[in-house]
Each structure stands twice: as C-alpha cells, then as structure tokens.
Amino acid sequence: MPIGISKSRKVVVVGTGFVGSSYAYSLVNQGIANELVLVDLNKEKAEGEARDLNHGMPFGFPMRIRSGGYEECSDADLVVITAGANQAPGETRLDLVSKNAKIFKTIVTSIMETGFQGIFVVATNPVDILSHVTLSVSGLPKERVIGSGTILDTARFRYLLSEHFQVDSRNVHAYIIGEHGDSELAVWSHVQIGGVPLKRYAKLDNVEENKDMQLIFENVRDAAYHIIERKGATYYGIGMGLARLTKAILDNENSIITVSTLLEGEYGLDNVFLGVPAVVNQYGVREILELELNPQEQAKLEKSGKILKELTEKVL
Ligand code: NAD
C-alpha cells in the first residue's frame, strides 16, 4: 500500500526536549510513522517543534504531525516517553531517579486514563528503573513496556570497534548489556566481526585484558559524560536508536535489539528491568535472548541487576 494511506501508525512522543525532538526528526526523515503527536508540559515548545517539522514535509515522507495532549494516546500504537530532567555535568543517571519517577507516575497515569492499549517505549533516565515504574503504574503486560536500555551503548560499542578495526559497524556484532549506566558491561565473549569471533579476528589471547579493548569499553560506558561535558546533552544517537526501535515494532520486524525489559528468571535474575538482547515485534518484546556468559560477565551482570533492583524497590 502506498505510504500515507496504509493503516494508521500513530506515535505519541511525550517530552519534546532534545531527545524527543531528535527522535521526531529521525521518524520524519525515515518515514517510519504516518501520524505523530508531540506532547510536552511546555505546550508552546511542542507546538513550535510540530510546526518546524511540518515545514520539512515536501522534502520527506507524508506524515500528519501536530502537538496535542494526553487524549491523543487513546488510539496510539506507541507512546514514547522522553520527558523529564536530564543529567547535569557530573550527575549520574541514577541521580535523576526520584525527580523523574515522580514525573513518570503522573504521566503514565494520565496516559492510562485515556484507555491506551499500545506499547510504551521509555527513554528518560534512569531508563531501566523508569521502565519498571511504567510497567507497575500502567498494569500493561510486560512485553508492552520497553526501555531503550543499552540500545545506544551497543551502538556506541559497535561504532568504536568498527573504527578500531576499520570494518563497517553494521558488520560488527556485539552487545552491551545490564544497566544503561555505570554498571553496564560488554559481552566480550560474543563479539564477532562478520561472524569471526573477536579473539580470532584480532589475534588476541585475552580480549578483555587488552589495553585497546579496555579503552573502547571505557569510552562506551563514559560516552554520555564526555558528550555532556562538551555540548550539555546527548540526543542524536538516542533519537536514531528510538527510531530504529519504533520501526522494529511498527513493521513487526522480529529484530534483535538490546532493550530494557523485565527479567523473570533469565540470566538468573528476577523482577528487574535491564538491557539484554531481545526479539522485538508488533507485540513488543517477543522473547529475551539468553547469551551464554562467561563467569566474569555473569558476575558483572548480577552486580548491575542488584544495583538496579535495590533502587527500583525504593522508588516503587
Ligand atoms: P530536555 O530537558 O531537553 O527535555 C525534557 C522535556 O521534558 C522538556 O521539554 C520538558 O518540558 C518536558 N517535561 C518535563 N516534565 C514533563 C511532564 N510532566 N510532562 C510532559 N513533558 C515534560 O531533556 P533531554 O535532553 O531531551 O533528555 C530527556 C531524557 O532523556 C533525560 O532523562 C535524559 O537523561 C534521557 N536520555 C536518555 C538516553 C538513553 O539512551 N535512554 C540518551 C540521552 C538522554
């Protein structure tokens, strides 16, 4: 069916700051949705963004874009929440927890009051904890609450490895899992370049202990701090990552993406949201992939899960 007269693919973005508007810009440029509604506490900002995006329509894909209120969520396929405070220089993602948990309880309650039955995607930090808050306040099935998790960290990891080895990042298969934050980990044991295990490709006996590889991981983990020091916030990468996730959902792709989802026994962890590779389709998270981790990776993941679980329990 030609674009524009296909089934409605309605996305509501709550929060039209740096992240929300970068995401909206990616959606428009890639023609991913056909109806886009921008919601923000600051109504003028949402209205300004909608007008600006609409003016690019002759250069992009047909899409109905407007600003609006929560009532727009009643028939939305997807609500993407990027509202809330962002990290100030030196602040960790976990420092944001109490501020943003309060905001989320109000936002998610207002959305559920409209009869929303679609899928939530959460990007606000700390994303793993706020995804759990969204699940608990909404009462939706767990597969329909998805955090952006380590989607961006995994992209950063693939990009930095691709630069180091001079191979297209799309041919670098690698995951960052765990908290989207300081306790995340690289799954070195499963990094592959075009199907060849990294250990063999790079001729390294111990990949994890290699200085260059360590530096790559540190630059992934600390990327947000490095960018915030320089430009105050990070938003293009996550905007593109959220657009990728949106496409996987609306196009029923069954794509494997590292999202934050509720673990219920997988990886030996229970009742905690964190980033793991999962199959994503029109129903949300279809299935979690359980990588065979080595003992060090398993211990790091358990540590990350413990940190998140303790903080989540306080907030819930
Ligand atoms: P921003 O300050 O530019 O935008 C936040 C927007 O939320 C503002 O427009 C504000 O008016 C709005 N808002 C606040 N309270 C609201 C409410 N109750 N209802 C509706 N709108 C409300 O911030 P940003 O740079 O866009 O960052 C947004 C969030 O995304 C932050 O928590 C940030 O840490 C996070 N982030 C996540 C990732 C990721 O990988 N998941 C990456 C970058 C940033």
pLDDT tens per residue across span 41-67: 999 999 999 999 999 999 988 999 999
Mean pLDDT, to the nearest integer, of 175-193? Answer: 97
* CA 46/CA 14 separation, integer angstroms: 9
Flag whether pLDDT at 181 surpasses 70: yes
pLDDT of 113-172, one tens digit each? Answer: 999 999 999 999 999 999 999 999 999 999 999 999 999 999 999 999 999 999 999 999
* Range 72-81 average pLDDT: 98
- What atom in ligand 1 is closest to the CA of residue 234? 43
Mean pLDDT of 95-113: 94
Q: Which residues contact 58 (CB under 8 A, 6 or more apart)?
A: none
Q: Give yes or no for residue 14 having a pLDDT over 50.
A: yes
Q: What is the mean pLDDT of residues 249-268?
A: 98
Residue 91 reports pLDDT greater than 70: yes
Residues 151-315, CATH architecture: Alpha-Beta Complex (3.90)
> What pLDDT band is residue 2 in, cutting at 50, 70 and 90?
very low
- Residue 5: is its pLDDT beyond 80? no
| Torsion of the alpha carbons at 271, 105, 102 and 97, rounded to the nearest 10 | 30
Question: Measured from the CB, is residue 223 less than 6 Å from ligand 1?
Answer: no
Please say whether the beta carbons of 198 and 254 come within 8 A: no
Reply yes or no: is the peptide bond before residue 197 cis, omega within 30 of 0.
no
Determine the average pLDDT of the residues in 278-283.
98
DSSP states of 254-314: -EEEEEEEEEESGGG-EEEEEEEEEEEETTEEEEE------HHHHHHHHHHHHHHHHHHHH
State yes or no: pLDDT of 3 exceeds 50.
no
Q: Where in the chain is the domain with CATH 3.40.50.720?
A: 10-147
101 has pLDDT over 60? yes
pLDDT beyond 60 at 104: yes
Please, are residues 276 and 132 in contact by the beta-carbon 8 Å criterion? no
Mutate to test the pocket of ligand 1, among 37, 72, 82, 133 (most ligand atoms within 8 A of CB): 82
Token pair for residue 213? 């590889």
Within the chain, all domains assigned CATH 3.90.110.10 are found at 151-315
pLDDT over 70 for what percent of the chain?
98
Asked if residue 180 has its Cβ within 6 Å of ligand 1, the reply is yes
Assigned CATH class of 10-147: alpha beta
Q: For ligand 1, is residue 19 a contact (CB within 6 Å)? A: yes
